[in-house]
Amino acid sequence: MQKTISMPNVNLPQSVQRSSALKPIGLGLLIAAAYFIAIPLVFGANGYLLNVFTTMAAVSFISFGVWLTFAIGRINLAQAGFALIGAYVTAILVSRLGVSFWICLPLSGAVAALLGGLIGWPVLRLKGVYFAMITLCITEACRLTALSFPALTRGAQGIVDLPLPGELSLFGLTIIPAFEKGARLPFFYLAGTLMLLGLGFMWLLDTSRVGAVFRSLRQNEDLASSLGINVAKYRVVAFMVSCFYAGVGGAFFATLQQNVYPTTFQVLDSVYFMVYCFVGGLEFVIGPLVGALVMMISFELLHEFQRYQTVIFSGLMILCILLMPNGILSVVNRSGKPEEATNA
C-alpha cells in the first residue's frame, strides 16, 4: 500500500516575512525616485536624453514579456511582431475611428494577447531552436501582413500624423491632462509608469504560485505534467501575458512617434529585447530593465566614436556576456541562492 508523505508547514517569523517583502518594495521606490525625480531634475533641459530614457523605459516594459517566456523555457523572437500588431491597432483606432488613446493602450495589448493565444496553442509545443525559428518567422509574417493590406494599414506608406493623447478624466475630474505638441515630459512619465507597473506585476506573478509553475515548466515539463499541472494551459497563459506587454509597448511607441510603418518593429528589435534580458540577468525580474539601461547608456557614451560606435558596442556586449554569462545582476547577488535571486 502506497503511503502519502505530508510535508510540514513551516511558518517563517514575521520579521523575516516582513523583510523579504520590503526588499522589492524598497527597490521599486528607489527606481521610482530615480526615474521620476532625479532624472528630470538633472536632464530636464536636455530633450535628447529625456527621449533616451523614455525609450529605455518603454523597451524595458516590452522586454519583461520576453523575460516571462524565458521563465517557461522558451526563446521568444516574436515580441517585435506583436508590438507591431499593438502599434497598428492603436494607429487604426485613433486615426480612423477617433477612439481615445487611453482606451487603445490596453485594447492593443488585449488584441495582441488574443492573437498570441491562438498562435501559441499549437506553436508552444515546440522547444529550443525550433520554437525560436517559428517566433522569428511570426515577426516577419507580421511585417509582410502590414505590407500586404494597404487598404487597412496603408502599406509601405504607413499611418502618419497620429494625434497626441487627449486628457484622461473620470467623473469630470481630469486625471491626466492632454499631451501638448513638442512636450517630452508627458511621454517620459507615461513610459516610466508603464515600466514600474510592468515590473510590479511581473514580480507579483513571479513570486506567486503561478510563477512557481512557470519555473517548473522550465526545469522539466514532463515532471510538471506528472504532478497534475496543465502544461499546455500555463504555457499559453505565459505567452499571452508576454504578447500583452508587446502590444501595449507597441501602442506607446506608435503614439510617441505619431506614425507606424511595417518596419517600425523588425526581427532585429526582437533580438534586442532578448539581449536586454541576457545582459541584465535571466534569473532576475528586474534584469530586462538593467540590461536596457546599461546597453542604451553605453551606446550613447560611444557616440563620439561615430562610425566605430556599433563595432565597439558589439564587442563590449560580447565581452559582457562572456565574463558575466548570468547577467550583470549575478555579480551583485553572487552570494545569494538561485531562489532568492529570482525574486530579487
pLDDT digits over 45-101, tens only? 888 899 999 999 999 999 999 999 999 999 999 999 999 999 999 999 999 999 999
Confirm whether 84 is domain-assigned: yes
Confirm whether 57 is domain-assigned: yes
What's the confidence (pLDDT) of residue 14? 45
Reduced to 3 DSSP states, what percent helix, strand and coil does the chain have, rounded to the nearest 5? Answer: 75, 5, 25
> Which of 17-21, 120-124, 264-268, 307-311 has the lowest average pLDDT?
17-21
Domain of 144? 47-265
Q: Is the pLDDT of residue 4 over 70?
A: no
Confirm whether 22 is domain-assigned: no
Q: Is the pLDDT of residue 201 over 60?
A: yes
> Which of 34-43, 141-150, 280-289, 335-344 has the lowest average pLDDT?
335-344
What's the confidence (pLDDT) of residue 313? 81
What's the confidence (pLDDT) of residue 334? 59
Confirm whether 23 is domain-assigned: no
Confirm whether 336 is domain-assigned: no
What pTM did the predictor assign? 0.88
What's the confidence (pLDDT) of residue 321? 79
Confirm whether 182 is domain-assigned: yes
What's the confidence (pLDDT) of residue 311? 85
Domain count for the chain, please give it: 1
Confirm whether 221 is domain-assigned: yes
Confirm whether 332 is domain-assigned: no
